[in-house]
Amino acid sequence: GNSVTQMEGPVTLSEEAFLTINCTYTATGYLSLFWYVQYPGEGLQLLLKATKADDKGSNKGFEATYRKETTSFHLEKGSVQVSDSAVYFCALSDRTGNQFYFGTGTSLTVIP
Amino acid sequence: EAGVTQFPSHSVIEKGQTVTLRCDPISGHDNLYWYRRVMGKEIKFLLHFVKESKQDESGMPNNRFLAERTGGTYSTLKVQPAELEDSGVYFCASSPIGTGLFGNTIYFGEGSWLTVV
């Protein structure tokens, strides 16, 4: 079955550090890949997505590229801010687009 | 435009009691989903409504869970009787796009935190 594996947290970084959160998936067929973010006290928000191989999703300085050859969708940001502190979830959906498979989430804390 | 709203935001109940969670999707969204995150684990799909019909309930853990969506608007998820392992965050989500559309994005609510003691 479909599954998503993302790096364990928590992750603590200093402001302006480089961020990578690894995400790999197991699935076949046409997929869409997503990163969702949950800020403290809020719901899950879509951060970015990619709907085909080699697509790069980007938003708020975050980027992730859908790599079919390595079945990965790693999240990166060149310079994190305190306001980026949140839990990040990698997810995929199959061709129907109606059932999402999530990773366990990675908690990020950015310290000044 | 209001987002997906869920009620209650937090609930603490005793084992064996009943809890009903409510979700109001974004207005006009035909698709409504329930997901659950048990502590430290991944967010898992529970079920999917299209309007008032259950399209997919393959993720419902057992018959103690009952979801309804009367009239195709808001939805309720009832747990009866609650067990300790039901503790977690229950997320509702909605989407304006019909089934079968590739790349569908779904919009989540803030979640209902359930603690069973």
SS (H, E, C) chain B: CCCCEEECCEEEECCCCCEEEEEECCCCCCEEEEEEECCCCCEEEEEEEECCEEEECCCCCCCCEEEECHHHCCEEEEECCCCHHHCEEEEEEEECCCCCCCCCCCEECCCEEEEEC
CB contact under 8 A, A96 and B99: yes
- Does position B94 have pLDDT exceeding 50, yes or no? yes
- Does position A102 have pLDDT exceeding 80, yes or no? yes
- Does position A18 have pLDDT exceeding 90, yes or no? yes
What confidence score (pLDDT) does residue B102 get? Answer: 59
Tell me the average pLDDT across A74-94: 95
CB contact under 8 A, B103 and A4: no
What confidence score (pLDDT) does residue B100 get? Answer: 46
- Does position A38 have pLDDT exceeding 70, yes or no? yes
List the structure tokens of A15: 């402001």
Q: Which residues pair with B34 in a beta bridge?
A: B47, B92
> What is the Cα–Cα distance from A28 to B100, expressed in whole angstroms?
16
What percent of chain A lies above the pLDDT cut of 70? 100
- Does position B85 have pLDDT exceeding 70, yes or no? yes
What confidence score (pLDDT) does residue B1 get? Answer: 64
> What is the Cα–Cα distance from B112 to B109, expressed in whole angstroms?
9
Shortest CA distance from B32: residue in chain A:
A98
pLDDT level of residue B101 (50, 70, 90 thresholds): low
**Closest of A43, A33, A53 to residue A97, by C-alpha:** A33
pLDDT level of residue B114 (50, 70, 90 thresholds): very high
List the structure tokens of B2: 């209001």
pLDDT level of residue B70 (50, 70, 90 thresholds): confident
Count CB pairs under 8 A between chains A and B. 74
CB contact under 8 A, A104 and B44: no
Q: Which chain A residues are closer than 8 Å to B107 by Cβ?
A: 46
What confidence score (pLDDT) does residue A21 get? Answer: 97
Tell me the average pLDDT across B4-29: 95
In the block, tokens 């659950």 appear at B36
What confidence score (pLDDT) does residue B98 get? Answer: 57
Other C-beta atoms closer than 10 Å to the C-beta of B18 total 11
What confidence score (pLDDT) does residue B71 get? Answer: 86
Shortest CA distance from B94: residue in chain A:
A98
CB A34 within 8 A of CB A100: yes
Q: Which chain B residues are closer than 8 Å to A92 by Cβ?
A: none
> What is the Cα–Cα distance from A96 to A106, expressed in whole angstroms?
26
